[in-house]
Structure 1
Amino acid sequence: MNFGQSFKLALNSLRTSKMRAFLTMLGIIIGVGAVIVILSLGNGMTNMMNEQFETLGSNLIQVMVWPRGEGGTRDVDADDLYELVDQYPQYLFGVSPYVSASAKVRSGTDTFDRTSVYGVSESFFKSDTQKTMQGETLEEGRFLRYIDVDRRQNVCVIGSYLEQEAFRGDALGKSLSISGVPYTVVGILEQSADNTEGSGDDKVYIPYENAQRLLGGAAYQDMYLMTSTNRDTAATAKGIIENRLLKTYQSTDYYMVMTSAEMMDAMNTMMNTMMIVLVAIAAISLLVGGIGIMNIMLVSVTERTREIGIRKSLGAKQRDIRSQFVIEAGTTSAVGGVLGILFGLALAAVATALVGSLMTSGVSNVTFSAVPSVGDVAISFGVSVGIGILFGYLPANKAARLNPIDALRYE
């Protein structure tokens, strides 16, 4: 009996006992479906994060410094990093302190408790791209200028949420209160998230020293955003910054320097590790499905003992019997794998609709789509078939070793 004949017999067997076949394949269907949807979510999240990092630019460098406090020697401050940019203009392009302040924002009688207040310098806005270092676009007015930062002027740039909620779409030149201090709105950012309270559109940028005053000088860490001249000089620029910090601190324990490319790699590594763990958990269902196939194949061998005896008496060899049952097990798992893939794709479509809006809320100009790759689908199908063959081999081998005389006597 050739492969084609064995395959047709396997399909006929599945059609004859549809419910039993479905229950046998259920573990494979659930396992493959779970693997597909997990890989789809992982691909969607990875693509979304990479898309977000692309908006920041490949030449962004994040610097975090932990001050040593009282008793320590001189710390590195913003002026030191400004000097470093002036010293290496061929590698470094700009630097901006990035201060996250806790403040109450008010406009008239309205209070905005979830509005984020950040202190930055004029370098935070890149004139060549007309975007901020975090990829935001200016819609109206202007961004902070050098004179605003140098003189600590009470001016601000606000997000689209505040423009609509606090000023009904007419914010330029108007004032709002930040911790009781009036600030004049000089610029409005273009909507980049979902324009709701607490989202990426609910923010205010002020001169960084003004933000430091709001903190009262008490900050757990100092954060700076710097840019290299281009993508190719990012690694060299990072080395220059690290050498300058090491010269002052004499230890790498007090600072961290990371390029946007490294941030992206770190996030992708973390995502890949998490996906491996989740897929391994989902693969337990495949193992259960394999055990189910082995169980039903053992029952099938018992039910078809006389058939096996007749085939052997007519000249069938052990390898013929073995291959027939292995093909049946593989066909069962293959059909289960196809159904599992369809089930997983359906779940991925639902995840795109339900999870997508939650994942992209507050994230600028990115989309979420849970779509598995062709490789993911192929591997899932291959594993499902492999499990069927692996777990079907024991019953097939048992059938192949039956004594034809004993098999013909079996009732």
Structure 2
Amino acid sequence: MNILQSFKMAMKSIMGNKMRSFLTMLGIIIGVASVIILVSLVNGQMSYMTESFASMGTNQISVNVTNLSTRSVSVDEMYEFYEDNRDLFAQMTPNVTVSTTVKNGTESSTSTTVSGVSEEYLEMKDMELEAGRFIQYSDIVSRQKVCVVGYYVAWDLYGGVDKALDQTIKIGGNAFRIIGVVSRQDDDELESGGSDDFVWMPYSCAAKMTRNANISSYTFATADMNHTDEAKTAIDDFLMEIFKDEDLYRITAMSELLDSLNSMIAMMSMLLGGIAGISLLVAGVGVMNIMLVSVTERTREIGIRKALGAKKRTIMQQFVIEAAVTSSIGGVIGIVIGSVATTVIGTAMGMNATPTPSAVVVSFSVSVGIGLLFGYMPANRAANLNPIDALRSE
């Protein structure tokens, strides 16, 4: 008997006991669908997190220092270091965060992020202007009270981009002139505290508003991501020479954080996939149980075939293929259900979740493997039946 004949007999047996076959497949269906749904949803959510994280700039290095009265680094010293290492760095900006309220007349916002930045900040963030111009070096040197606002601020406080341009906005009680509006970042919706709710001003003005003579936060953009380690080492050597204590400064490369995040994503995905995969093992026990019942029911048939000259491997092949076919059909149904459920749940949760090819391939392969593995013992039992004892069974 060839494999094709064994396959036809397996299908005949499955169709002859539809309800029993379906209940046998049910465990496989649930297991495969669970693996696909969990892994795909986790990957969808984590992909969103990774994209959000990457938008911060994977080529950026954040530097935070603790300035003391005896040991400190000034903005001029940081810029001097930056100019001396232009082969490593593409842009640099001091960062000054201002905790305050922004107002236009009676309209105000407490959720708006207010920051002091340099003239290179827009290019560093890879953003574009919707209207107007960006902060210039002359604005920083002369401490001009000008600012660039996000798309949300322009619409929320002024009713439009054109209406906001060249208007006055109150920041912490100080009047600033809006010289530019940044293009919209969030395509879904404009919301308070979102990625379009910000105000940028010259860092010199922000430092004056916060009464902070020594700025403690800087961001560098590397000229080449392949030289991130070299860039970090250069910053570390420079700051160590000044502070003499590595606890007084912190250097963080965004690319390293992104790599760590990706590792966590992969580990979490494997963990959840493994947990869901336990149901496949339980389903395998169900397959083995039903196959043992099938062998018992067909003992006389096995005896007749062996008496007519059927070889041991032929009998074993028949039952192993039957178990594998049962598991495979369950796996295919599970893939369909899992794929549809992933799309539906992902849409309901507001994220882009699609079945990952790896989850589909692995779950289906495991389902087929389980059919072969758990179908072997019943098949071996059938193959080792004594023909005379098998013919005597009722």
Measure how far apart 1:252 and its partner are: 4.1
Kindly indicate whether residue 80 of structure 2 is the aligned counterpart of residue 83 of structure 1.
Answer: yes
* Superposition pairs of residues 269-348 of structure 1, within 5 angstroms: 269-348=263-342
State the one-letter code of the partner of 1:189. Answer: V
CA deviation digits over 1:214-237, x for unaligned, max 9?
A: 556599x94322123344544432
- In 2, Cα distance between equivalents of 1:175 and 1:186: 10
Q: How many residues align?
A: 390
User: When the two structures are superposed, what TM-score results if normalisation uses the length of structure 1?
Assistant: 0.85
Partner of 1:180: 173
User: Aligned in 2, Cα 1:253/1:10: closer, same or farther, shift over 3 Å?
Assistant: farther
- In 1, Cα distance between equivalents of 2:211 and 2:27: 60
- In 1, Cα distance between equivalents of 2:142 and 2:181: 21
Partner of 1:130: none
Measure how far apart 1:110 and its partner are: 1.8
User: Aligned in 2, Cα 1:253/1:406: closer, same or farther, shift over 3 Å?
Assistant: farther
Is this contact kept in 2: 1:37–1:372, CA < 8 A? no
Moved more, 163-172 or 106-115: 106-115
Moved more, 245-254 or 150-159: 245-254
User: Aligned in 2, Cα 1:319/1:212: closer, same or farther, shift over 3 Å?
Assistant: farther
- In 1, Cα distance between equivalents of 2:303 and 2:243: 84
State the one-letter code of the partner of 1:372. Answer: T
User: Aligned in 2, Cα 1:21/1:227: closer, same or farther, shift over 3 Å?
Assistant: same
Q: Which runs of 5+ in 2 are unaligned?
A: none
Kindly indicate whether residue 161 of structure 2 is the aligned counterpart of residue 125 of structure 1.
Answer: no
User: Aligned in 2, Cα 1:66/1:391: closer, same or farther, shift over 3 Å?
Assistant: farther
User: Aligned in 2, Cα 1:332/1:214: closer, same or farther, shift over 3 Å?
Assistant: farther
Kindly indicate whether residue 202 of structure 2 is the aligned counterpart of residue 204 of structure 1.
Answer: no
CA deviation digits over 1:226-254, x for unaligned, max 9?
A: 12334454443232112212333445444
Is this contact kept in 2: 1:160–1:191, CA < 8 A? yes
Measure how far apart 1:260 and its partner are: 4.3
- In 2, Cα distance between equivalents of 1:300 and 1:253: 71
User: Aligned in 2, Cα 1:336/1:99: closer, same or farther, shift over 3 Å?
Assistant: farther
Is this contact kept in 2: 1:67–1:254, CA < 8 A? yes
- In 2, Cα distance between equivalents of 1:311 and 1:152: 97
Partner of 2:132: 141
Is this contact kept in 2: 1:43–1:371, CA < 8 A? no
Partner of 1:129: none
Kindly indicate whether residue 71 of structure 2 is the aligned counterpart of residue 74 of structure 1.
Answer: yes
User: Aligned in 2, Cα 1:175/1:10: closer, same or farther, shift over 3 Å?
Assistant: same
* SS of residue in 2 equivalent to 1:98: strand
- In 1, Cα distance between equivalents of 2:18 and 2:111: 57
CA deviation digits over 1:39-79, x for unaligned, max 9?
A: 43455456556655665666x32223252757xx5133433
* SS of residue in 1 equivalent to 2:310: coil
Partner of 2:64: 65
Measure how far apart 1:13 and its partner are: 2.0
Moved more, 253-262 or 89-98: 253-262
* SS of residue in 2 equivalent to 1:79: helix
- In 1, Cα distance between equivalents of 2:279 and 2:294: 22
CA deviation digits over 1:189-212, x for unaligned, max 9?
A: 111102222211111112234444
Partner of 1:9: 9
- In 2, Cα distance between equivalents of 1:216 and 1:305: 91
CA deviation digits over 1:169-190, x for unaligned, max 9?
A: 1101112222222222111011
- In 1, Cα distance between equivalents of 2:266 and 2:18: 38
User: Aligned in 2, Cα 1:410/1:102: closer, same or farther, shift over 3 Å?
Assistant: farther
Partner of 2:354: 370
Supply the RMSD in Å over aligned alpha carbons: 2.8
User: Aligned in 2, Cα 1:213/1:22: closer, same or farther, shift over 3 Å?
Assistant: farther
- In 2, Cα distance between equivalents of 1:23 and 1:338: 15
CA deviation digits over 1:251-291, x for unaligned, max 9?
A: 54444434444343222222111111111111112112212
Measure how far apart 1:154 and its partner are: 2.4
* SS of residue in 2 equivalent to 1:75: coil
- In 2, Cα distance between equivalents of 1:215 and 1:286: 60
* SS of residue in 1 equivalent to 2:76: helix
* SS of residue in 2 equivalent to 1:82: helix
User: Aligned in 2, Cα 1:189/1:331: closer, same or farther, shift over 3 Å?
Assistant: same
Is this contact kept in 1: 2:43–2:269, CA < 8 A? no
- In 1, Cα distance between equivalents of 2:248 and 2:292: 65
Measure how far apart 1:111 and its partner are: 2.4
Match of 1:237 among 231, 234, 243: 231
* SS of residue in 2 equivalent to 1:201: coil
User: Aligned in 2, Cα 1:91/1:204: closer, same or farther, shift over 3 Å?
Assistant: same
- In 2, Cα distance between equivalents of 1:354 and 1:78: 49
State the one-letter code of the partner of 1:62. Answer: I
Partner of 2:391: 408
Measure how far apart 1:12 and its partner are: 1.8
Measure how far apart 1:302 and its partner are: 2.0
Partner of 2:145: 154
State the one-letter code of the partner of 1:197. Answer: S
CA deviation digits over 1:280-337, x for unaligned, max 9?
A: 1111121122122122212222222222222222222332222211111111111111
Partner of 2:377: 394
User: When the two structures are superposed, what TM-score results if normalisation uses the length of structure 2?
Assistant: 0.88
Q: Which runs of 5+ in 1 are unaligned?
A: 127-132, 360-367
